[in-house]
Amino acid sequence: MAHSAAHPAPHSASAGSTGLLARLNGAHHKLALNSFLVIVLAHWAEHLVQAYQIWVLGNPRPQARGVLGQWFPWLVSSEWLHYGYAIVMLVFLFLLRPGFTGRARTWWTIALAIQFWHHIEHLLLLIQAQTGTIFFGQPVVTSVVQLIVPRVELHLFYNSVVFIPMVVAMYLHLRPNEREREQMSCSCAGHRSEVRPLAPHAA
């Protein structure tokens, strides 16, 4: 993956998806990460509005559908809205991972692994909603861990345990140590050509 030392020009001929992946993790990593963050925050907004509808407004849970769900209830009842967010997040976490190095890569990988499972849970819900077959002998569509934890609380938890390592990864990515910076081919931490002070804050 990290052939950048041998090929200093990332815009060279390597065509197709390889070239796109290289650009997403190189020149466009910052833009791609920011776009992803907007999507993630929109998703959080949905869940926080839903929490407000339940615990502040006292709405019954089936009527607490977040922002988009208020206007397009079928998006929620069909499970497409939830699944859409889950698969988009999984794809972004997967595609933007090579741009991370060192400790940031480790934290990003943790977020990816947890999101993979979160996505499986949503896939189970989607299959039940689409086929009309409800698993686990439950009255409503149900995912595996939902057998233990109620759905709203469970997904607040899932979103937190994906978001926290993501934020840690992004923080470390913006503040790499020397070795991590050497391996980076993006501009997220500033350009390497910048003159960096020799002050003793190399911690």
* Footprint of Zn ion (CB under 5 A): 29, 99, 186, 188
Distance CA 59, CA 53 (A): 6
- Least distance CB 16 / Zn ion (angstroms): 22
Least Å distance, CB 85 to Zn ion, is 23
Residue 40 CB, nearest approach to Zn ion (Å): 16
Query: Which is nearer to Zn ion, 1 or 148 (by Cβ)?
Result: 1
Which one, 69 or 99, has the nearer CB to Zn ion? 99
Q: Choose between 155 and 173: whose C-beta lies nearer to Zn ion.
A: 173
- Min dist CB 98 to Zn ion, Å, is 10
125 vs 169, which CB is nearer to Zn ion? Answer: 169
